[in-house]
Amino acid sequence: MGTLVADSLRTILLFIARIKGVPQHIMDSHIDSLLKTVRLFDERDKLTSQLSQGMRKKLAIAAARVHSPKIVFLDEALNGIHLEERVLSLLKD
């Protein structure tokens, strides 16, 4: 997934949520929850250009889950990141 390097993680996920029609009243809490799940909550205000490759992969996973799709197809999504139980758990959900 190409990301907007001039924006923060949170801004990017909010943008995607708006495009995908996530209801406004749940948007903030939903995005915070996604960021916590992929362990990027503390980095939420960083620019994507400041992220490691692994962090960018986690952001891509969060972005794919923003609108709570029933299924997500990921191509090499775990390349470059440490295999963490929480990320794998998110993918199983």
Q: 38 in a domain, yes or no?
A: yes
Q: 1 in a domain, yes or no?
A: no
Q: 53 in a domain, yes or no?
A: yes
- Per-residue pLDDT, averaged over 16-38, amounts to 93
The pTM is what? Answer: 0.73
E strand or H helix at 65: helix 53-65
pLDDT tens track for 39-88: 999 999 999 888 888 888 889 889 989 998 888 776 665 565 565 555 66
Q: 45 in a domain, yes or no?
A: yes
Cβ proximity of 68 and 21 under 8 Å: no
**Rounded distance between C-alpha atoms, residue 38 and residue 90, angstroms:** 8
Count of domains for the chain: 1
**Distant-in-sequence, close-in-space partners of 47: CB < 8 Å, separation ≥ 6:** 5, 6, 7, 8
The domain of 40 spans: 9-92
Cβ proximity of 17 and 31 under 8 Å: yes
